[in-house]
C-alpha cells in the first residue's frame, strides 16, 4: 500500500489534482518523515533541496533578524505545502512545533514532476495566491489591529485551520502549538499583554483555559466580533 493510499489529507493537499496513476508516480519520488517538536526540516538561506506536504502536526516558518533574534513569519498546518519549488534558495526556516508527519520530495524530482502535470502546477498556483491573501491579512493584523483584535483573530485562525467543518458553532477545544511567549512574538505583543487578553476573554465567557496549552472556544460569534 502506498503512502498516498493512506494519506489523511489526500483530498485537501495539492496532490488532490492528480488521478490514481499520477498519484502512484508521485508516491515513488516521495517519502514520509516524522518530526519531533523542535526538529527543523528546512533552514533559512540553504539551497532549496526539498519540498513537502504536511500530513499531520503544526510547523512554524521563521527568519532570523540581524541581531540574532528569531521572528515567526508563518504557520503551516495539515494539507499545507512547504518549501520553494522552482527556486534556488530557501527564505525561511521550517521547524516542527508539535509532533509532525510530512511527505518529503527532493525539489528537483518534484519540479520535474510538476512540469509534466499541469493540474499539479495549477494547484501550486492556487496555494501561492491563497498564501498571498493570508499574508495581506496578516499585514492588516500586525499593522492596524489592537491587542484584543490580534488575539481574537489569532484564535479564529487556529479554529479555522485546526477545527473540523462539522464543528459549526459548537464548543471547540484547540491544543495550542505555541507558548505564550511565541504567541506574543508572532503578534508583536508582550507576553504580559497576551496573558491579560486571554484572561479577559475567559472572564467574559468567550473562551475557557483548561491549561496553558489548551483553549476552548465557548462563543465563536463573540470571538469573531472581537476580531474586528
Domains assigned to the chain:
4-141 (2.60.120.10), 145-226 (1.10.10.10)
pLDDT of residue 182: 84
| Total-model pTM | 0.79
Q: What is the pLDDT tens value at each position of the chain, 228 positions in all?
A: 466 777 888 888 888 878 888 888 888 898 999 999 999 999 988 888 999 999 999 898 888 878 877 778 888 889 888 988 887 888 889 999 889 999 999 999 989 988 888 888 888 888 788 877 777 777 776 778 899 999 998 898 888 887 665 555 678 888 888 888 888 888 888 999 999 999 999 999 999 999 888 999 999 999 999 987
The pLDDT value given to residue 17: 79
DSSP code string of 159-217: HHHHS-GGGTTS-EEEE-SS-HHHHHHHHT--HHHHHHHHHHHHHTTSEEEEETTEEEE
pLDDT of residue 164: 63
Residue 131 C-alpha cell reads as 498564501
Amino acid at each position: 500500500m502506498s503512502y498516498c493510499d493512506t494519506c489523511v489529507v489526500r483530498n485537501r493537499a495539492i496532490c488532490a489534482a492528480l488521478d490514481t496513476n499520477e498519484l502512484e508516480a508521485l508516491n515513488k519520488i516521495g517519502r514520509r518523515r516524522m518530526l519531533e517538536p523542535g526538529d527543523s526540516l528546512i533552514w533559512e538561506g540553504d539551497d532549496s533541496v526539498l519540498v513537502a506536504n504536511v500530513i499531520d502536526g503544526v510547523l512554524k516558518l521563521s527568519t532570523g533578524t540581524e541581531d540574532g533574534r528569531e521572528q515567526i513569519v508563518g504557520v503551516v498546518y495539515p494539507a499545507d505545502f512547504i518549501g520553494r519549488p522552482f527556486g534556488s534558495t530557501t527564505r525561511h526556516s521550517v521547524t516542527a512545533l508539535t509532533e509532525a508527519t510530512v511527505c518529503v520530495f527532493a525539489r528537483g524530482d518534484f519540479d520535474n514532476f510538476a512540469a509534466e502535470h499541469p493540474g499539479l502546477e495549477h494547484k501550486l498556483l492556487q496555494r501561492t495566491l491563497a498564501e498571498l491573501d493570508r499574508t495581506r491579512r496578516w499585514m492588516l493584523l500586525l499593522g492596524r489591529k489592537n491587542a484584543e483584535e490580534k488575539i481574537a483573530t489569532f484564535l479564529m485562525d487556529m479554529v479555522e485551520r485546526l477545527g473540523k467543518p462539522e464543528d459549526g458553532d459548537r464548543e471547540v477545544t484547540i491544543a495550542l502549538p505555541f507558548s505564550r511567549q511565541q504567541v506574543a512574538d508572532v503578534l508583536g505583543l508582550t507576553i504580559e499583554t497576551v496573558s491579560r487578553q486571554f484572561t479577559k476573554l475567559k472572564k467574559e465567557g468567550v473562551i475557557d483555559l483548561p491549561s496553558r496549552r489548551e483553549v476552548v472556544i465557548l462563543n465563536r460569534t463573540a470571538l469573531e466580533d472581537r476580531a474586528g
